[in-house]
Amino acid sequence: MGRHLTEDAQTALRYGTHQVRLRAQSGFGNPYLDLDLAVVFTRPDSSDVRVDGFYDGGDDFVARAYCDTVGTWRWRSESSRPELSGKTGSFRVVPSRLKGKLTLHPDDPTQFARADGSWFLHIGDTGYRYVVDDELKWKEYLEQAVAAGFTKIRTWFSRARCDCQALFQHDGKYGRVRLNLPYWREIDRRLVYALDHHPDVIFQLIPFGEDGDEIRRYGDGDELSRYMVRYAQARFSAFANIHWCISNDHKIIDDNAPEDDSHEGNPRARWGHIDAIARDMAGREPWGTLLTSHQMRFSGYSFLECDWSDIVTIEDLGQVTGHVVLKYRSQAKKPVVLDEDRYECWRPPQHDRFFFRRLMWATLLSGGHPTYGGLMTFEGYDGETKGIRGYYDACEMGLLENGAHDFRYIHRFFSDTGLSCVGMESADEIAEGPPLLYKAMRDETETTFIVYLANPDSWEGHAPDGFGGVHTDEAADVSSSTPSVALTIPDGEYSAAWYCPSSGEWRGLDAVTVAEQRVELTAPDTGDWTLLLRRCSK
């Protein structure tokens, strides 16, 4: 057990997880498919939550509760096995400093919040193999990810990129009729470690990874494939530090399209199969865990209208203008997450630190949620650029080029100002110049404006077309010139503060008068800058 996962204790923490352990008598056959167990948790307000129990080895079965309410909880068990049915108990949930599950912000469904109401600043990292049992540097990875400012980590259950078969037991005695319990326990151990030591970090769990064959088995009714997903929810949905993403990087095809195992390196998945998995998950999700799916680069998001879809997840390239985020922001009142773009080790920019700093600010000020990519974590550890290792260790070794060094200053900007992106809208139109140069955001009352002056040394002719066209973002570095910006905003008296996104330093707090709805401002030095304008009260 951990500090935030309790079992025998009579006291549990709010937004932690409490589990009930029951013991069966021998002779129960296949503990995954032959035995049923459910536990009904009753909150202090008398509302009930019914969860599946899951097998945890030996004669032990466990059921978990996400402790979202302070007070005395009661539970009772239901099973066709007499020794597991009719058991009862209680425990008390006390206040804590934990923030709780990731959810949609109550004041702005395009933004994330934690269950305690605090805004969630999404700065994602791709650490696919964090929970994989043969990755040994997972603790270093997590500690250094937190130090760099990452708040979400994308991780899958697959030991191999297109193969999640490590989740299943494969031997001559049982074949594919059981789960690989030691592997599941290791996933559990690493998530509990993170919950205990860094509870503010969210893990996007991708059970199928890129295994198109397993998705097909689920769609075709394979009993163990379907049970695997049910087991994953029973085991992990009660954790406050996770949300679900069904699969990764698939080409979504029509249900009537011919079978084909790949397309330009991307496995195929039928729309109906993903939808069936998602509907099953949403239908039994006990704790409101957010759900999405992920698909191949440049293909957008195919599940926009689905009731089960909580998050719009996209993969693109060179999104320094934020135009794909803005496209989906105009179509859905849901968070739009740019889950993949360039990587430091795949289609890398020439100037990693500037590119990723620019990408983060551009995505945030478009109203979206950005993600970084560093090492090739979809491959097993090789001592170099593949697998899981600490971000700063990789930089020290010369494997990465400091691409995420400035993310902590994004945190500092919002902490210093007390601002969030809740209720804010993209406002690129206020700047006289293209989004390649200026990204802007404003609040609903037009009294607060945030403007990022990217100041790249090259941008003309930018015309990306998939992997082709002209991607000026790939080669651009920050200019050695001092940038200026002309803005069209309401007349009035403003305070203007300049923030250096590469150092976290503020430069100047000046009074600015806007007349005839136009003002020209010049940054205090060379490089890229973030400008904060606040209209003064009359």
Distance between terminal CA atoms of the chain? 56
Show the domain range for 80. 5-94
CB 158 within 8 A of CB 377: no
What are the distances in angstroms from CA 483 to CA 71, 296, 474, 496? 56, 36, 21, 15
Please report whether residue 276 resides in a domain.
yes
Please report whether residue 250 resides in a domain.
yes
Please report whether residue 111 resides in a domain.
no
What H or E segment, with its residue span, contains residue 141? helix 138-148
Are residues 438 and 411 located together in one domain of the fold? no
CATH of the domain at 138: 3.20.20.80
- pLDDT score recorded for residue 262: 47
Backbone angles phi, psi at 144, to 5 degrees: -80, -25
- pLDDT score recorded for residue 324: 98
Please report whether residue 159 resides in a domain.
yes
Are residues 67 and 173 located together in one domain of the fold? no
Residue ending a domain, among 391, 415, 439, is: 415
The alpha carbon of residue 221 and the mean position of all alpha carbons in its chain are separated, in whole angstroms, by 29
Are residues 378 and 464 located together in one domain of the fold? no
Rounded Cα gap, residues 212 and 241, in angstroms: 26
Please report whether residue 112 resides in a domain.
no
pLDDT tens digits, 233-286: 999 999 999 999 999 999 999 998 887 654 456 899 999 999 999 999 999 999
Residue ending a domain, among 415, 435, 454, is: 415
Rounded Cα gap, residues 423 and 147, in angstroms: 28
Residue ending a domain, among 415, 437, 469, is: 415
Instruction: Record the pTM.
Output: 0.96
Are residues 274 and 226 located together in one domain of the fold? yes
Exposure string of 38-50, with b = 16+ CB inside 10 Å and e = fewer, is: bbebbbeeeeebe
Instruction: Find the length of the chain.
Output: 538
Q: What is the dihedral of CA 38, 44, 47, 48, to 10 degrees?
A: 0
pLDDT tens digits, 35-78: 999 999 999 999 999 999 999 999 999 999 999 999 999 999 99
- The C-alpha angle 54, 245, 42, rounded to 5 degrees, equals 40
Rounded Cα gap, residues 189 and 162, in angstroms: 23
CA-closest candidate to residue 131, choices 213, 274, 242, 35? 242
Are residues 124 and 88 located together in one domain of the fold? no
Place of tokens 């206040």: 95
**Angle between helices 212-219 and 271-284 in degrees, nearest 10:** 70
Contact partners, residue 8, CB within 8 Å, separation at least 6: none
Query: pLDDT under 50 in the chain at which residues?
Result: 262-263
Please report whether residue 183 resides in a domain.
yes
Q: How many structural domains is the chain composed of?
A: 3
Are residues 436 and 516 located together in one domain of the fold? yes
Are residues 261 and 157 located together in one domain of the fold? yes
- pLDDT score recorded for residue 116: 98
9 burial class (0-12, 13-18, 19+ CB within 10 angstroms)? exposed
Are residues 183 and 276 located together in one domain of the fold? yes
Please report whether residue 527 resides in a domain.
yes
Please report whether residue 361 resides in a domain.
yes
CATH of the domain at 460: 2.60.40
Are residues 477 and 346 located together in one domain of the fold? no
Are residues 439 and 408 located together in one domain of the fold? no
Copy the structure tokens of residue 318. 């060179």
Are residues 229 and 308 located together in one domain of the fold? yes
Are residues 87 and 137 located together in one domain of the fold? no
